[in-house]
């Protein structure tokens, strides 16, 4: 997770390539394929990372309430612990950019 500001002023919390997102008033969840090479931005579609962002925390630069990258099993367990298992990935982008 980077602390730099994005191209248009927002902070990058989850690095590329995010391909699925879900949210409610308290949490954002995301699926991400990591970029294996920053120079040519090659995406590793064989690996999937999961993230949970707690929007009630000050997570802009302090990174509080940001969980990830997580495996699917750890993500599922943490969702149950945080009571966010009802959120669905309802925004999606191509799995392979």
User: How far, in Å, are 8, 9, 14, 45 from residue 69 at the CA level?
Assistant: 24, 23, 9, 15
pTM of the shown model: 0.83
Chain CA centroid to CA 6, Å = 15
| Per-residue confidence (pLDDT) for residue 4, from 0 to 100 | 54
d(CA 55, CA 60) in angstroms, rounded, equals: 10
DSSP letter at 62 equals S
97 residues of the chain, pLDDT tens digit each: 445 555 666 778 898 899 999 999 999 999 999 998 777 778 999 999 999 999 988 766 667 899 999 999 999 999 999 988 789 999 998 877 7
User: How far, in Å, are 13, 20, 33, 49, 95 from residue 46 at the CA level?
Assistant: 22, 15, 8, 10, 10
């Amino acid at each position: 997770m980077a602390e730099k500001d994005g191209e248009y002023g927002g902070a990058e919390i989850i690095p590329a390539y995010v391909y699925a997102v879900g949210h409610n008033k308290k949490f954002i969840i995301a699926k991400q394929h990591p970029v294996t090479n920053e120079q040519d931005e090659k995406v590793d579609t064989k690996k999937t990372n999961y993230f949970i962002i707690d929007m009630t925390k000050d997570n802009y630069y302090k990174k509080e309430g940001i969980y990830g990258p997580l495996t699917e099993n750890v993500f599922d367990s943490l969702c149950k612990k945080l009571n966010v298992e009802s959120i669905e990935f309802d925004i999606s982008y191509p799995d392979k950019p």
